[in-house]
Every structure is written in C-alpha cells, then in structure tokens.
Structure 1
Amino acid sequence: MAHAQYPPSLFSSLITCFIFTLALFSPSVDAEASSCNGQPVFCDRKYSSVTQLGAHDSPFVGPLPQQNQNLNVTEQLDLGIRYLQGQTHKVENDDAIRLCHTSCVLEDAGTLESFLITVKSWLDDHPDEVVTLLLTNGDNLPVSRFDETFAEADIKEYVFVPEPSSEVLSMDSWPTFGQLISKGTRLVVFLDYGADVSKVPYILDEFAYYFETPFDVTDRSFSNCSVDRPPGAKPDGRMYIVNHFLDVDILGVLIPDRIRAPKTNAVSGEGSIGAQADLCQSEHSRLPNVVLLDFVDQGKVMEAQDKLNGL
C-alpha cells in the first residue's frame, strides 16, 4: 500500500506545529509561574515581604510529650507549610548529622540526609513552590558537614545563593517568589550558628537575616514581641521570626501544650496567631516574616497565613 505524500510546505508546517506544541507543554525553569506557593500574588512579592507560617521542630512527629507535630514532613508540606525548622545533633560513633530534640536519647527522628531526601522528593513534584529550611546546629558542627549532607541527599540543585554571595542581602534586595521559581532556586536554607558563606554560600546565617522573639513561652496570651536573639540586636534591617508555640510547665519540665494548640493556632482571639502578629506589628511597625508553630494541623493555620498576607 502506498504511503501518503505530503507537499513540502505542508510537511514543514506540521513540523513547526509539532515543535511549537512540545515547547508549549514542556516544563522549563525559565518559564514564569502563574502561582507561587499556592498564591498568584506571591509571584510578584519579594521573599522578604511575605509572612510564612512554619512548622517548629518539624521532624519530631507523634503523640509523645517531646514531639511537636502530628503530621509528618510531607503532610506538613501538603497542608501548605513552606517553612520547616528542625534541630540537628551529632552522636558518638556515627558520622551522620541527626535530627534530635535536645538530645538523641530523648528524641531521634533520623538523619538529616533522610529528611532532605523527603523535601527534595516533594520539591520535584511541586515545581511552583519555594521551601525554606531553618536548621539549628546544637553541637557546633562545621558547615562543611552540612554541605556534605546536602550533596548526599542530591538536593543542592535547588538551593538559593544570594548575589553576591559574600554579602548579606538587604530586605529590599531579596528576589520575588516568582524569580526564585523561574531560576529553579526553590530551597532557601538558614543555619542558626556556624554558617560561613565563604565556605558554603547557600547556607545562610540565620541571625544575619532575622531576629527572633522569645521561645519556650508559657504565657498563653503571647504578650511579648521583644528581640530575644541575637542578644542586643536592633530589629531594623532584619526580617523576624515570631516563636508562637506554647509550652506547659510540668514539674519544671517544659513540654509542648498540645491541648491548647487549637486556640494557640487560631486566626484571632486571645493568644492567637493573629493577636501576637498584631502586637508585633505595633511594636516593630511591620508584620512578622515567619511565625513558627507546633501542631500545624490544629487551629486555622493556613487561614491565618492568608489573612496576614492580605488575602
């Protein structure tokens, strides 16, 4: 049976149409996202101009007193959380950096590498999302060890590096969420102590960029928005983190207040996310950049985030 013969001009047109269709539907990191972190308006907002609600001690999941979350990390991200905080520690006779609550005897949530692999898998599946990690360095490990772990998790392809990397970005110099997404630099990383951008340029010094309000709060009204860390720092020129997670004192031991979490994580009312954000705004003349929470599945966390961002 003879094959159909197309005129050269028609064949050329078909090829052109095919190539155009491929280009239209093929993913590209240079394409502008139509929605960023779930909101079209975030695409044009600077990273430093959005309030993000974050999971405090995000790896420590379960019903025990030392555990701070009910949802695992993937479920936290699926809920809408894009800011994950976690504690790291080192144990003897183990080269791995581990995610441990105060000590690895009390609570060991596994290796940092495993955590990063989970985050990378989620980023792979969600190309229009920017995730931030805030890690603590409780055992003062060299930043090169963190870099090695990020490399082992194969997640460095996503990391954001400021330009120039040797300087601290001013608040108005941060890229927009749309720019972070279009460049494929969708993982922002902070370390509380031990960062050195001359050695590892993508692991940023938390306290060069942020100040924090007091933590381990037992005051249900959250009536304090003062600068707690870094000690003696002025708030001007820094983003800031509100530690809005409530502890309860049991015989001198502070544990997360799971029972009051729905009220602590409410949109409004005494001791709510909204109430403390309003207090901090009145004190610092701007809304917080991050509000860290325990039990992010309790209360109305994403509704509170929308309200703080004027949505």
Structure 2
Amino acid sequence: MSPVCGLTRALLGILLLLQPVLGIPAADVLPRAAASVCNGWAEYCSRSYSSVTFVGSHDSAFVGDLPQQNQNLDVTAQLNMGIRFLQAQTHHSLFDDNVLELCHTSCLLEDAGTLKSFLGTVKAFLDANANEVVTLLLTNGDSVSITEFGSTFSSSGIDSYAFAPSSSPLSIGDWPTIGDLISSGKRLVVFLDYGADTSKVNYILDEFAYYFETPYDVTDSSFSGCSIDRPSGASASGRMYIVNHFLDVDILGVKVPDRDAAATTNAATGKGSIGAQAAVCEALYNRAPNVVLADFVDKGNVIEAQNELNGF
C-alpha cells in the first residue's frame, strides 16, 4: 500500500469515528456526484420537479381484498414497480394518542399500521436506491400538531432524506431538478394537506400552497372533468396540480373503490383512461398534471401512462 493510500484510509477512519460527535451526515445522504439516470430516466436528471408527472398510489397503505382497501400490492412492491408518489391517510391510534396510524377514515374501519413503520419502509427503499426521488402526500385527519409528524419522521430516521426548500412556499418555477435532489441527498419530498407549519418542521410542506386538486369520489367512469375542487376558490396559476383518477362505485349510498374497473380506469389510453383525463386537464390548464392518483396501481398500464405523459 502506498503512503498516500494509507493516509487516506486513516483519515476516512478518523472521520467515521468522529461522525456522531461532529454531526457529519451519514454516507447515504451526503451530496453525491451528478447522477446519469434519475428515477429510471436520464431525461429526468435535468427536469425540474415541478415539470414531472408522477402517477401516484392513492391510499397506498390500504392493501387487500376488502371493499375499503385501495391497493393490491404492498408499498415496497409499489415502489419496486416504479411508483414514486405515495398518498396515505393518518389518524391518531385508538390505543395510544401519541402514535400516528395509517387509517382509512377511522381506525375502526381500516388500520394499516403505524406511520413510523410506513416511513421505515420508504426509507429502506431510499437506502437501497440512490438515484430515486420519492414524494409522500399525507392527510391529517385528526388535526394533529405538526410537531408530532416531525417527531415521527425523526424517530424513523427518514428526515435526513427530506427536502426543505430555501423559501416557503417555493415558486413553481424555482423547484430543483430531479438530478439536483439526488445529488444533494435530499430525495424525499413531503406534503401534508392540513396543519403544515414550516417554521416548526421545515421539510413538511403545505399541500395546498403548492397544489390544487380535482374532485375525488368520482363515480363517472368517463372522467370527463378536471375542475378545481380544493382548495376552494383557488387559481390554477402558480400551482402544481393533482388529478384524482380513481373510480368509486356507489353501494347503498357508500362509495367504495371500483376494483372491477381498475384495468380500464388505469389504462394509458382509451375512454376513461389516465391518458384521456390528462388530456382534458392539459387542455384546460395548458400543462400536464403533476400527479395522477390511482387505485390498484398494478392494474392497467400506470407506468406506461406516466411515461407517455412525460414524453417518453
């Protein structure tokens, strides 16, 4: 071994020993050299986050065959198939008010486990896939304090990946590229529908300061509309937007996910497809959707639809 190599190894060893004391970030979140492939495509590396269309998993954690469940694949499998936008509902645990659970409307109806466990699953994917950017959109059904969310993110260890913008809200034109997020090590973008406060937790962003949404609980299989539903009275100007492209069926006054229609709903093209509704939206707003949320992402052709919306 040359003297230079020996000295280099010695210095690296000292840095590793001192890492906890000096607060040096772990290797998995250190700034990296520019990636040549980002989220599976070289083209994403130079494209701003706000110019990418993601097909996202609606109620990503509610997996199974019951009427209230929205997905067939678990979260790891969704990520492995190419989903990079995960939406999930949160509520306080019925048994411990200090714990946040992933529950569908009520934890009595559907409880998919703790938010901390969910975040751990996403972190494991980020740990193993250094050139991927993932977005989380969480709902705050019990108006939980933002500091509780911050504590849960911190205890899971995923906060080290979280992107905090230089100003909040960040202008739609000022988002970094996917490549920039990867090279910075900040490969997780987090939004919360209600209760975000970046003065207290700077990486959990206010969804409706950044996005508007189209109507949800849609039972029209043609998906012929793309109006602004939330926030009420919002302008499309300056906001990204989310298309709620998941079909419900009304059973005795209760709307449940239409599992049987998923292959058609999630098709890339054709009547009622992802591509067809995205075209309606693009005609209204002169730009493609930023997010298209879907149930049963393993059905149809959601990744093909995502690629086509991004020009691939």
Normalised TM-score (structure 1): 0.91
The 1-side partners of 2:272 and 2:297 are apart by 15
Q: Secondary structure at the match of 2:154?
A: helix
Aligned to 1:110: 113
The 1-side partners of 2:176 and 2:39 are apart by 14
The 2-side partners of 1:98 and 1:278 are apart by 36
- 1:136-155 correspondence to structure 2 within 5 Å: 136-155=139-158
Deviation at 1:114, TM superposition (A): 0.4
The 1-side partners of 2:116 and 2:143 are apart by 18
Does the CA-based 8 Å contact 2:94-2:107 persist in structure 1? no
Q: Deviations over 1:153-182 (max 9, x none)?
A: 011110000003xx2111110000000000
The 2-side partners of 1:206 and 1:217 are apart by 21
The 2-side partners of 1:148 and 1:91 are apart by 15
Q: Secondary structure at the match of 1:118?
A: helix
Does the CA-based 8 Å contact 2:191-2:205 persist in structure 1? yes
2:161 corresponds, among 143, 158, 161, to: 158
Which residue type is aligned with residue 247 of structure 1? Answer: D
Which residue type is aligned with residue 57 of structure 2? Answer: A
The 2-side partners of 1:273 and 1:249 are apart by 21
Deviation at 1:93, TM superposition (A): 3.9
2:55 corresponds, among 53, 56, 59, to: 53
Deviation at 1:224, TM superposition (A): 1.2
Q: Deviations over 1:255-303 (max 9, x none)?
A: 0000000000001110000000000000111110000000000001111
Aligned to 1:206: 207
Deviation at 1:91, TM superposition (A): 3.3
Q: Deviations over 1:115-152 (max 9, x none)?
A: 00010011000000000000000000000000000011
The 1-side partners of 2:65 and 2:126 are apart by 27
Which residue type is aligned with residue 223 of structure 1? Answer: S
Aligned to 1:33: 35
The 2-side partners of 1:168 and 1:139 are apart by 24
Which residue type is aligned with residue 196 of structure 2? Answer: A
Aligned to 2:310: 309
Does the CA-based 8 Å contact 2:50-2:240 persist in structure 1? yes
The 1-side partners of 2:287 and 2:125 are apart by 31
Does the CA-based 8 Å contact 2:163-2:189 persist in structure 1? yes
Aligned to 2:238: 237
- 1:23-102 correspondence to structure 2 within 5 Å: 29-94=31-96, 95-102=98-105
Aligned to 1:130: 133
Aligned to 1:3: none
The 2-side partners of 1:86 and 1:30 are apart by 30
Unaligned regions of 5+ residues in structure 2, if any?
13-26
The 1-side partners of 2:32 and 2:151 are apart by 28
Structure 1, 209-218 or 27-36: larger mean CA deviation = 27-36
Which residue type is aligned with residue 296 of structure 2? Answer: F
2:122 aligned with 1:119, yes or no?
yes
- 1:283-294 correspondence to structure 2 within 5 Å: 283-294=284-295
Does the CA-based 8 Å contact 2:57-2:83 persist in structure 1? yes
Q: Report sequence identity in percent.
A: 62
Deviation at 1:223, TM superposition (A): 1.0
The 2-side partners of 1:278 and 1:42 are apart by 21
The 2-side partners of 1:81 and 1:93 are apart by 32
The 2-side partners of 1:120 and 1:216 are apart by 30
Deviation at 1:15, TM superposition (A): 4.7
Q: Secondary structure at the match of 1:123?
A: helix
Q: Secondary structure at the match of 1:306?
A: helix
Q: Secondary structure at the match of 1:225?
A: coil
Q: Secondary structure at the match of 2:87?
A: strand
Which residue type is aligned with residue 196 of structure 1? Answer: D
The 2-side partners of 1:178 and 1:209 are apart by 21
Which residue type is aligned with residue 125 of structure 2? Answer: W
The 2-side partners of 1:199 and 1:272 are apart by 40
Does the CA-based 8 Å contact 2:247-2:258 persist in structure 1? yes
- Give the length in aligned residue pairs: 293
The 1-side partners of 2:158 and 2:197 are apart by 19
